[in-house]
Amino acid sequence: MSESLRVNRDSSEVAVIGGGLVGLAVALGIQQQGQQVTVYDEGDIAFRASRGNFGLVWVQGKGDNMPAYARLSRRSSHLWGEMAQQLEQHTGIDIQLQQRGGVFVCLTETELEQRIQMLNGMAANHPEGYPFEVLDRQQLKELMPDIGPTIPGATWGPEDGHVNPLYLLRALVQRFEALGGKLVNAGPITKIKPENGQFVLQSASGRYSCNKLVLAAGLGNKALAPMVGMDAHVFPNRGQVLIAERVKHFLDYPTGHVRQTAEGTVQCGDSKEDVGFDSGTSTDVLAQIANRAITMYPLLKDVRLIRSWGALRIMTPDGNPIYQQSEQYPGAYLVTCHSGVTLAAAHAGPIADWIATGQADPELELEKFDGRRFEL
C-alpha cells in the first residue's frame, strides 16, 4: 500500500497544530469563515504558555522597535470588546475582560524617565498618534489610593486592560467546537509531509491530512517549521508568577506587574529569565516579584501567598510576532508571538481572515512580520 493510502479517515480542510491561545484563536476565526478546522494538540505534558500567563491585554510599549506590531496590538485591543461579547453570548462564560486602561508603575525616577523616553519615541514613530499619559505621584495617588509612598509616578495607557486567560481559553474551545471545529489530543505531531498539494501529519496516534496547515505550536514550532520549508526563530523565556489570597477590592486598573482579579486574588509578576526549558520557580526571583509588589502596594505585605508557578514565553529575537506563509509549500502558515492574550482578537480576526482567504489586509503590513527577517 502506498504511504498516502494509509492516511486515516481524519482529513480536514484546515489543520492547526497547537491548541493554545494562538492556535485556538486562529482556528476559531477560520472556522467562523465556514472552513472545516481541526486542531491537533500535544496535551498536558507540553509547554503551554497559555495556561501560565498574566492575563493582560496590553498595548502601551508593545512594538517600540516595530511600528507595525504596535499598530497590530492597538488593532487587537480595539477588536477585543466585540470578541469577548461574542464569546460570552455564545458560551455563557464570563471571561472577565476589563478595558478601562492600564498603568505601568515605575519604582524610581530613572525608570520613569526611561519609560517616558521610550513612549515618546513610539509617539514620534506613529503619525496617526500613540495614546499614553504620564502620571505624576499625585495623579497616580488619585487613581490608586493605596500606591506606596516611594513611587514617583507611572505611565497610563487608555487601551490597556486584562482578562481571565483560563476562561478565555475555555471559551475559545467551547465556541470552536460548537461551530463544528474538532480538537484532537493526538500527542505531539512528529512529522509533516507535503504530498500532492496536501499536508500529511503524523503522531503516535495516527496520520491526518489537510489542505491547509497552520503551525501554532508555540515553542514546538521550532521543530515543525522546517518540515514545511520555514524556520521558526523561537526560544523560551521564563516568567514566574505569584498569586496572593483574596483581599478587599483595592485596584481598579491592571498594572504591568500587579493586577487584582475579578475574584479578588492578586496576581504578581513577572520575571524575564533566560533558563532554557526549565519552567520551575526559584525563591530568589519570587522574592523579587513579591518585593516589587509590596513597594507598589504596601498593603500586600500582610497578604498570604497561595500559589506560584513558572511558564515559558515564546520569544523571537526581536520580540515581535512571526506571520508567514511558506514559499516552498504554499498553504502552510507559521503563526507565533509572545503576547497571545493581547493578540487573540487579531488572531481570530484579520490573521484568520488572511489564512482563510489567502488575502491579507494591507494594513496588517504582513511583510514586516515574515520570519525571514532574522536571516538578513
Ligand X SMILES: Cc1cc2nc3c(=O)[nH]c(=O)nc-3n(C[C@H](O)[C@H](O)[C@H](O)COP(=O)(O)OP(=O)(O)OC[C@H]3O[C@@H](n4cnc5c(N)ncnc54)[C@H](O)[C@@H]3O)c2cc1C
Binding site for ligand X (CB under 6 A): 17-23, 40-43, 46-50, 52-56, 58, 188-189, 216-218, 220, 224, 239, 241, 269-270, 311-314, 336-342
Q: Nearest to residue 29, comparing CAs of 359, 368, 354, 364?
A: 354
Q: Nearest to residue 104, comparing CAs of 157, 44, 173, 145?
A: 157
Q: Give SS3 for 321.
A: coil
Of residues 153 and 340, the one with the C-beta less far from ligand X:
340
Of residues 23 and 101, the one with the C-beta less far from ligand X:
23
Q: How far is the CB of 354 from ligand X (least distance, A)?
A: 17
Instruction: Give CA–CA dist 266/30, Å, rounded.
Output: 35
> Are 10 and 38 a contacting pair, CB within 8 Å?
yes
Instruction: Give CA–CA dist 61/104, Å, rounded.
Output: 10
Instruction: Give CA–CA dist 179/167, Å, rounded.
Output: 18
- Separation in Å, CA 241 to CA 181, 280, 282, 312: 32, 11, 11, 11
Of residues 139 and 281, the one with the C-beta less far from ligand X:
281
**Cell digits for 31?**
472556522
Q: How far is the CB of 40 from ligand X (least distance, A)?
A: 5
Cα Dmax for the chain: 76
Of residues 153 and 254, the one with the C-beta less far from ligand X:
254
Of residues 115 and 162, the one with the C-beta less far from ligand X:
162
Q: How far is the CB of 58 from ligand X (least distance, A)?
A: 6
Q: How far is the CB of 201 from ligand X (least distance, A)?
A: 8
In 275-363, which ranges are E strands?
A: 305-315, 322-325, 332-336
Of residues 23 and 153, the one with the C-beta less far from ligand X:
23
**Cell digits for 213?**
496547515
Q: How far is the CB of 136 from ligand X (least distance, A)?
A: 26
